[in-house]
Structure 1
C-alpha cells in the first residue's frame, strides 16, 4: 500500500466527543489487528477537534435582530401603514423582502459568517409573511384567514429546500404546522378533529422523514421530531374522556389532510423498502388507534368511575406505552435523542393525567398525592429501565453502533 503523507490529506472538523470516540475505536481496531498503527495514524490525521460555539452572543444578537425586524414588518403591515396607498405599501414590503432574499443568498455565495447569513435568511422568511399579509390587505382579504399562513409556509419551505438552509425551513415548518391545524379547525372546531389532525400529522411528518433519509438528513431529523411529537399528542388527546362524543365532522380540509398524509405514507412505503417502512406504517396504526379510542365514549359522569372508565384508561395507557417504547427503539436506532426524551416525558405525564382521571373521584386529599406519586415514580423507573435494556440490546446486536454509556 502506497503511503500518503498526512499533511496532504484534507482535514475535517468534528465535535470533541466524536473525535474521542474515533480514537478509542482506532485503539481497539489496532489492538485487534484489524488495522496497522500507520493506518490508524492516517485515519486520525483526517479529523481535527473543533469546539462549536453553538450559542454565542453574536449569533443570538443577529437572530434576535432578524426576528425583531421581521416581526416589526408584519406589525407594520397589520397597522396598515395608513400614510401610504395600498400599492405603495405592498411595493415597499416586497422591496424589503426581495432585498433580504437576494442579500442573504449573496452573503452565502460569498461564504460570509453563518450567523450573518442565517439572520439575513430569517429576515427574508419573515418578510415573505409580511408581503403575503400586505398583499391580502391590498386585495381586501381578511388578514386573519389561515390560508395566508399556508401560503407563507409554502413559500418559506420552498426557500429552505432550494437553498438547503435551515432558518427558512424552520420558519416554514412552524408556520406549516400552524396552518395544518388552523385550516381544518376553521370549519370544524371539535375535539375529534384535533385527534385526527394530530394522527394525520404524525403520518405525514414520519413519511417525509423516511423520504428525506439519505437526501437531506437534517430535514429528516426535523420531520421525524415533528412526527414523534404528533403521535404522542394524538394518543394523549384521544384519551381525554368523551373527546369524540360528537363523532367525526367531515370537512373538505380534514379530508384533504388525511389524503395528503396517506399519499405521503404510500410514497414512503413504495420508495423506501425494508425496515424503514415500519415508521410510516406505525404512524398509520397510531392514527387508527387514536381515532378508535377517541370514538369510545364512557359517559360524562365525573363523580364515579365504573368498569368502562377503567377499561378505557387501561387501553389508552397500554397504547401509549407501546407507542413510547416504539419511539424509544426508533430514537435509539436513529441516534435521535429528542424522540427518547419526548417518549419518556410524555409517558410519565400521560400516566399521571390518566391517574388523575381515574383516581381523583375515588381518593382525595393527601392520599391522592400518595397514589399519584407512586404511579409517577413507578412509571419513570420502569420506563428508564426499559430504555437502558433496549439500548444495550440494540448496541449488542449491531457491531457498528456507537457504544453508549447509561447515565
Structure 2
C-alpha cells in the first residue's frame, strides 16, 4: 500500500478546497471513510493564493495594459522631438526588455501575476513596434494589415511559451483584423453577419482541436465561439440588414476557407459530442445568413405579418442557440458560456420585443408584455437547464453502477 504521507501537496482554488472539506466531513459522518483518512486527504491540498481574479493579479494586469497602451499612444502621437530611428529604437528596446524579462521571470518560477503582466506588456509592445515601423515607412496607422501582423506576432508569442496573456491579445487584435480587412473597401450589413458567422465556425473548430493538447487555450477559443454565435444571430435578426447583399472580396473568401479548414480539422480530430460544436457553429452561420437575407422592411410604424413571423423565427432560433450554449457549458464545465447565453437571451428578447411590440403597445402595457415574454423564455430556459443537469447526473450514476 502506498504511503500517502509522501505524496506532494497540491494547490487548489480556495472555493474548491472548501467544497472538498465539506464533502470529506459528510463522507466521514456517513462512515464512508474514517476521520484519519479524511485528515490525510485534506492535508494533501492547500489553498492557491494566486487565484485567477485576485486583487494583485487584476492590478498588475491593468497596469501592464495601461503601460502597453501608453507605448502605442506615444507612437501615435509622433514624438516629433525624436528622429524616426530613435523612436523605433526606443520602442524596440522596451519591447525586447519586456519579452526577455517576462520569460526570464517565468523560468525562475516568479509570481504568476507578475509574469503575466510583463508578458502582457510584451504583447502590447509588439503592436507599438509595428506601428512605429509603419510610421517610419509612411504607412497609414489605420491600415488593417498592421492589426493582422500584430495579431500574428502576439499569437506566435503565446503559443511558443504557452502564455495566456499574449494569446488573448492575439485573439482580440485578430478579431479586429478579421472584420476590418474584408470591410476595408466595401461594407454591408450582410457581410458583417457572414464574418461573424465564419468567426464562430473558426473559433469552435479551433476549440475542439486544442482540447487534447492545450485545454486552457481551448477554453478561450470556446468562449470566443459562444460570444460570436450570440452576436451573429443578434445581428442577423436586425430588420433589413441584408438589403445590400454580401460584398465579396478575396479576403472574405479566404476567411470562409479558413473557417472551413478549422471545422474539418475539428471533425477529424474530435469524437462524439465534440463534433457537434463545429456542426452547430456551421448551423449558426447558415441560419444567420438566411435570416439576414429575409427582408421584411424598416418602417417601425407598420408592423405586418411578415415582421411578426421574422421576429418569431429569430427569437426561436436565438432560444435554441442559448439552450445549446447552456448544454455545452454544462457538459464542458464552462460557466461563462451559460452566463453569456442568459445575458444574450435577455438582451435579444428585449430588442425584439421593443422592435415588434413598442409601435403597437405603449406605456405600462409594454412592460406587462415584456415581463410576460421574459417569464416565458426564462421558464423554458431554466427547465431545459435543469433537465440537462439531471440527465447528466443519471448518466454518471449509470456509468458508476456499470463500473461496479
Do the two structures share a fold, i.e. TM-score over 0.5?
A: yes
TM-superposed CA distance for 1:82, in Å, is: 1.6
> Secondary structure in 1 aligned to 2:99?
helix
> Secondary structure in 2 aligned to 1:391?
helix
State how far apart, in whole Å, the 2-side matches of 1:99 and 1:3 are: 47
State how far apart, in whole Å, the 1-side matches of 2:269 and 2:30 are: 39
State how far apart, in whole Å, the 2-side matches of 1:369 and 1:262 are: 43
TM-superposed CA distance for 1:388, in Å, is: 2.3
Unaligned runs of 5+ in 2: 400-404
Equivalent in 260, 263, 270 of residue 262 of structure 1: 260
State how far apart, in whole Å, the 2-side matches of 1:34 and 1:217 are: 33
Q: Give CA-to-partner distance per residue, 1:23-76, whole Å, 9 cap, x none.
A: 566677789998888776655443233454544554344333322221121111
2:103 is aligned with 1:99: no
Equivalent in 390, 394, 406 of residue 392 of structure 2: 394
Equivalent in 145, 161, 179 of residue 181 of structure 1: 179
The answer to whether the Cα contact below 8 Å between 1:242 and 1:299 also exists between their aligned partners in 2 is: yes
Q: Which residue of 1 aligns with 2:300?
A: 302
Equivalent in 1, 14, 17 of residue 19 of structure 1: 17
- Higher mean Cα deviation, 23-32 or 59-68? 23-32
Could you say if the C-alpha distance between residues 163 and 399 of structure 1 is closer, same or farther in structure 2, counting changes exceeding 3 Å?
farther
For residues 99-248 of structure 1, what are the structure 2 equivalents within 5 Å?
A: 99-248=97-246
State how far apart, in whole Å, the 1-side matches of 2:55 and 2:370 are: 43
- Higher mean Cα deviation, 385-394 or 224-233? 385-394
> Secondary structure in 2 aligned to 1:192?
helix
State how far apart, in whole Å, the 2-side matches of 1:81 and 1:221 are: 40
The answer to whether the Cα contact below 8 Å between 2:188 and 2:245 also exists between their aligned partners in 1 is: no
> Secondary structure in 1 aligned to 2:301?
coil
Q: Give CA-to-partner distance per residue, 1:79-124, whole Å, 9 cap, x none.
A: 2222222222212211111111011111111112222212211111
- Higher mean Cα deviation, 387-396 or 250-259? 387-396
> Secondary structure in 2 aligned to 1:189?
coil
The answer to whether the Cα contact below 8 Å between 2:203 and 2:221 also exists between their aligned partners in 1 is: yes
Could you say if the C-alpha distance between residues 313 and 177 of structure 1 is closer, same or farther in structure 2, counting changes exceeding 3 Å?
same
The answer to whether the Cα contact below 8 Å between 1:199 and 1:234 also exists between their aligned partners in 2 is: yes
State how far apart, in whole Å, the 1-side matches of 2:227 and 2:243 are: 25
Could you say if the C-alpha distance between residues 276 and 53 of structure 1 is closer, same or farther in structure 2, counting changes exceeding 3 Å?
closer
State how far apart, in whole Å, the 1-side matches of 2:58 and 2:29 are: 45
Q: TM-score, structure 2 length as denominator?
A: 0.92
The answer to whether the Cα contact below 8 Å between 1:10 and 1:46 also exists between their aligned partners in 2 is: yes
Equivalent in 345, 352, 357 of residue 359 of structure 1: 357
Q: Which residue of 1 aligns with 2:368?
A: 370
Q: Which residue of 1 aligns with 2:382?
A: 384
Could you say if the C-alpha distance between residues 217 and 124 of structure 1 is closer, same or farther in structure 2, counting changes exceeding 3 Å?
same
Q: Give CA-to-partner distance per residue, 1:2-21, whole Å, 9 cap, x none.
A: 241x3311110112332344
The answer to whether the Cα contact below 8 Å between 2:28 and 2:35 also exists between their aligned partners in 1 is: yes
TM-superposed CA distance for 1:317, in Å, is: 1.2
TM-superposed CA distance for 1:331, in Å, is: 0.4
2:349 is aligned with 1:343: no
Q: Give CA-to-partner distance per residue, 1:137-188, whole Å, 9 cap, x none.
A: 1111101111101111110111111111111111111111111112122123
The answer to whether the Cα contact below 8 Å between 2:5 and 2:40 also exists between their aligned partners in 1 is: no
State how far apart, in whole Å, the 2-side matches of 1:147 and 1:317 are: 37
State how far apart, in whole Å, the 1-side matches of 2:60 and 2:13 are: 24
Q: Which residue of 2 aligns with 1:281?
A: 279
Q: Which residue of 2 aligns with 1:81?
A: 79
The answer to whether the Cα contact below 8 Å between 2:144 and 2:181 also exists between their aligned partners in 1 is: yes
Could you say if the C-alpha distance between residues 135 and 236 of structure 1 is closer, same or farther in structure 2, counting changes exceeding 3 Å?
same
- Higher mean Cα deviation, 56-65 or 169-178? 56-65
Q: Which residue of 1 aligns with 2:289?
A: 291
State how far apart, in whole Å, the 1-side matches of 2:2 and 2:158 are: 42
Unaligned runs of 5+ in 1: 402-407
State how far apart, in whole Å, the 2-side matches of 1:275 and 1:89 are: 52
> Secondary structure in 2 aligned to 1:13?
strand
- Higher mean Cα deviation, 77-86 or 160-169? 77-86
The answer to whether the Cα contact below 8 Å between 1:304 and 1:362 also exists between their aligned partners in 2 is: no
Q: Give CA-to-partner distance per residue, 1:242-286, whole Å, 9 cap, x none.
A: 100111111121111111111100011011132211000110011
State how far apart, in whole Å, the 2-side matches of 1:344 and 1:188 are: 34
